Amino acid sequence: MSELPADKPDCVKAVQEPQPPKRGKLICLANWERRLPRKYVVAPTPSANSLNIDIEIETTDTGVKRCTKSLVDCGATGLFMDTKWACANNVTTRALTRLIPVYSVNGTPNESSAICEIADVILRYNRHAECTQFAITQFGKQSMILGFTWLHEHNPEINWQTKEVCMSRCPACHDTCRLDTKHERKEQHAATAQIHACRSGGFPVLIEEVEDEDDCICGGTEESKG
């Protein structure tokens, strides 16, 4: 991250915005930057189409871990992190060669929130973990937003009545999620099988009870011999 000027607060970064290219000059982009979208759509205000979940992020270079609430909103595209939150929590960012415009859900451009930085982090939610990129932008009360592209990739099971999100249908690249889900289902099947076995059979005999009975029998035999 760039060093802060002495006359500015800690949570406000002096970001040097990339200069627009001169006419006729080609821009050379790195491979990771070519994979970024041409534009973003963001809706930082919670609505009926959104919910909040508790997540953890870890920076890939310094290992800084931070927990926060993230807005899950299908009206937004991409993953977003607030500029001031990233600065206050020592999240390392990378500057982009060119700005990526940001639009509101109604299609109007938001020039103040144009993306000029991204952050490479490990995103964790419950037992789900993935390496991903957050676009750094400015919005009011939210620290992070998980948009439609994230929902489309992972296709989680969402209970909108209880506001619960279950990562049970992650793609094959996220093996940890699939293995955890498989393990949970295996445990549920084992517990169900034990219940059915108890219901179908007689009352189980505890080992301690059998040992007590054996002791009594042995004791009785000794007395009879005496």
Same domain, 159 and 195: no
Residues 184 and 144 in one domain: no
Checking phi first, is residue 163 left (phi over 0); if not, alpha (psi -120 to 50) or beta?
left
CATH of the domain at 91: 2.40.70.10
Quick check: is 24 in a domain? no
The token duo for 185 is 């289902």
pLDDT of 70:
93
Q: Does 97 reside within a domain?
A: yes
Asked if 50 and 111 sit in the same domain, the reply is yes
Does 94 reside within a domain? yes
Based on the structure, what is the number of domains in the chain?
A: 2
Residue 15 has pLDDT above 70, yes or no: no
Q: What are the C-alpha distances in Å from 105 to residues 6, 20, 75?
A: 38, 26, 7
What would the pLDDT profile of 23-63 be if each residue is shown by its tens digit?
Answer: 555 667 777 777 777 777 776 566 666 788 999 999 999 99
Same domain (yes/no): 98, 116: yes
220 belongs to a structural domain: no
- CA separation for the pair 102, 41 (Å, rounded): 6
Residue 18 lies in a domain: no
State which of 167, 183, 209 marks the end of a domain.
167
User: What is the number of alpha carbons within 13 Å of residue 76 lying toward its C-beta?
Assistant: 26
Same domain assignment for residues 135 and 179? no
Residues 96 and 190 in one domain: no
Residues 80-116: tens digit of each pLDDT: 999 999 999 999 999 998 888 888 777 778 766 789 9
Residues 155 and 181 in one domain: no
Place of tokens 């500057």: 95
Residues 156 and 193 in one domain: no
Residues 182 and 139 both lie in one domain: no
Q: Is residue 29 part of a domain?
A: no
Same domain membership, residue 70 and residue 115 = yes
The model's pLDDT over 25-35, given as tens digits with 9 standing for 90+, comes to 566 777 777 77
164 pLDDT tier (thresholds 50, 70, 90):
confident
Query: What pLDDT was estimated at residue 73?
Result: 85
The owner of tokens 């290219």 is 21
**Same domain membership, residue 185 and residue 163:** no
Asked if residue 116 and residue 191 are part of one domain, the reply reads: no
Q: Which domain covers residue 188, as residue numbers?
A: 175-199
Report the DSSP pairing between strands 144-146 and 157-159.
unpaired
Degrees, nearest 5: CA angle 8-90-36: 105
